[in-house]
Amino acid sequence: MTPTPRRTVYLDHAATTPMLPAAIEAMTHHLARTGNASSLHGSGRAARRTVEESRETIAAALNAQPSEVVFTSGGTEADNLALKGLWWARLRDDPRRRRILLSGIEHHAVLDPAVWLAQHEGAELEWLPVDQLGRVRPEQVRAAIDQDPASVSFVTLMMANNEVGTLQPVEQVAAIAAEYGIPVHTDAVQAIGQVPVDFAALGVDAMTVSAHKLGGPYGIGALVVHKETQLVPVLHGGGQERDVRSGTLDTPATAGFAVAVEHAIKDQAEEAGRLTALRDQLVQGVTGTVPGAELSGDPVDRLPGNAHLSFKDCEGDSLLLLLDARGIEVSTGSACNAGVAEPSHVLLAMGYDDQRARGSLRFTLGHTSSQADVDAVLEHIGPVVERAMSAGLQNVGRNN
């Protein structure tokens, strides 16, 4: 007798979310067509029309102008283009502009290029402190700028933290920076479709978006760049995308991207309400039944689909694997480099001790999440934590 397949409970939507059927349909339709969007013949013009219609759809959903949407291979490239492009453009105009203001909770797609600029280009990184909820305070940004406004290159601050889900005061920070003529970049990868995002209203100069976080395909994203903001290109070649990002455009992916953005923005308010209810039920169920379990990040001003929880006397990796064995897929609050688990840089920046930073799990819900998923977590989390704690105590005994 063939066993019944186990249902997978997928709660790692912050890492990637399943493609929307409409996005798959749009992308596969164009995969069957041939045409380089830079070619002048009929097939090329048809491809160009698809790309430009996709650009217009994305721009309208984000309240930007179509010319401000620069397609990239994803969020990482968009962040690199923003940081390096702003750095070189600002330095070209004034060699004193060497200070980059950023928080210690940024995604590595922002942190690593910033560190690279410090190591190879002489950038001076200034780390904006965050409070215990993982939020940068606008007054601290002003204080950092006031030290020497003429030396600031730019500010970069994510809209929503990818680990703990705390929302950042990007609009207020952009307003402060504008008083000094300082550009602001925001990584909005986690925010699109979860909370309202209005590029023009935010007042930022550049904003990063990624398709696969909101139901679109992998391998495509965009940097939304204000029409008056200057960037030095990182890639050189055919001069596509306003000569800011050269490379043959992925026409099918732009079509899938546009559909995903349009759906995410259209359904945002309704979906946020649904996810918030499921998330709160998950958080209350776990913290109410598992001793020592605590929510990380802001309990209110956070992404609706994010539930980041820390567990006393447990290793996050152990919890993840034990849940995975039961068909529940989540992620940890730590990064694993070269096989060695390290505490999350986000949690350490928030003032967590090493143990709590290592003993965390991130549950993130999305458009396929259901009540049954939450029920499964609440059914299994207690026994999983008990087993992980027991394994941890055994390891301590052996080490002693």
Tens digit of each residue's pLDDT (9 = 90 or more) over 164-184: 999 999 999 999 999 999 999
Residue 343: per-residue pLDDT: 85
Longest dimension (CA), the chain: 74
In a domain? residue 328: yes
142-147, long-range: CB < 8 A, 24+ apart? 142/176, 144/101, 145/101, 145/176, 145/177, 145/180, 145/182
In a domain? residue 66: yes
Same domain, 133 and 193: yes
Q: Does position 94 have pLDDT exceeding 60, yes or no? A: yes
Residue 134: per-residue pLDDT: 97
Using 50, 70 and 90 to split pLDDT, how confident is the model at 139?
Answer: very high
Between CA 149 and CA 159 the distance in angstroms is: 23
When divided into structural domains, the chain yields a total of 2
Same domain, 222 and 277: no
Q: Mind listing the pLDDT tens digit for each residue in 301-359?
A: 999 999 999 998 899 999 999 999 999 999 996 444 435 567 899 999 999 998 888 89
CB half-sphere exposure, 257, CA atoms < 13 A? 31
Residue 371: per-residue pLDDT: 98
In a domain? residue 373: yes
In a domain? residue 12: no
Same domain, 253 and 275: no
Residue 361: per-residue pLDDT: 96
Same domain, 64 and 107: yes
Domain at 68, CATH number: 3.40.640.10
User: How far is the CA of 393 from the CAs of 198, 287, 386, in angstroms?
Assistant: 49, 22, 11
In a domain? residue 16: no
When pLDDT is averaged across residues 84-98 and rounded to a whole number, the result is 97
Same domain, 100 and 239: yes
Q: Which of 300, 288, 291, 333 minimizes the C-alpha distance to 315?
A: 333
Q: Which of residues 217, 242, 266 is at a domain's end?
A: 266
Using 50, 70 and 90 to split pLDDT, how confident is the model at 95?
Answer: very high
User: Are the C-beta atoms of residues 309 and 293 closer than 8 Å to each other?
Assistant: yes
Considering the chain, what is the average pLDDT of its residues?
A: 93
Find the domain containing 180 and state its range.
21-266
Same domain, 254 and 146: yes
Residue 355: per-residue pLDDT: 85
Instruction: Give catalytic residues, as residue numbers.
Output: 336
Q: Which of 278, 281, 307, 310 minimizes the C-alpha distance to 293?
A: 310
Q: Does position 398 have pLDDT exceeding 90, yes or no? A: no
Same domain, 343 and 365: yes
Residue 15: per-residue pLDDT: 96
Residue 333: per-residue pLDDT: 62
Q: What angle do the packed helices 42-62 and 251-266 form, to 10 degrees?
A: 20
Same domain, 102 and 78: yes
In a domain? residue 9: no
Same domain, 230 and 303: no
Residue 392: per-residue pLDDT: 60
Tokens 């380089």: give the residue.
36
Residue 48: per-residue pLDDT: 96
The residues near 366 (Cβ < 8 Å, ≥ 6 apart) are: 13, 17, 18, 275, 305
Q: Mind listing the pLDDT tens digit for each residue in 34-65?
A: 999 999 999 999 999 999 999 999 999 999 99
152-156/99-103 β-pairing: parallel
Choice among 57-71, 253-267, 357-371, 381-395 with the minimum mean pLDDT: 381-395
Domain at 359, CATH number: 3.90.1150.10
When pLDDT is averaged across residues 356-378 and rounded to a whole number, the result is 96
Enter the DSSP assignment of 68: G
Q: Which of residues 208, 243, 266 is at a domain's end?
A: 266
In a domain? residue 172: yes
Same domain, 123 and 194: yes
Between CA 257 and CA 262 the distance in angstroms is: 9
Same domain, 202 and 296: no
Q: Mind listing the pLDDT tens digit for each residue in 199-229?
A: 999 999 999 999 999 999 999 999 999 999 9
In a domain? residue 4: no
Q: Mind listing the pLDDT tens digit for each residue in 268-281?
A: 999 999 999 999 99
Q: Is the dihedral of CA 381, 164, 302, 211 positive or negative?
A: negative
Same domain, 92 and 221: yes
State the distance between the two ends of the chain, measured CA to CA, in whole angstroms: 48
Q: Does position 24 have pLDDT exceeding 90, yes or no? A: yes
Percent of the chain at pLDDT above 90?
88
Residue 342: per-residue pLDDT: 78
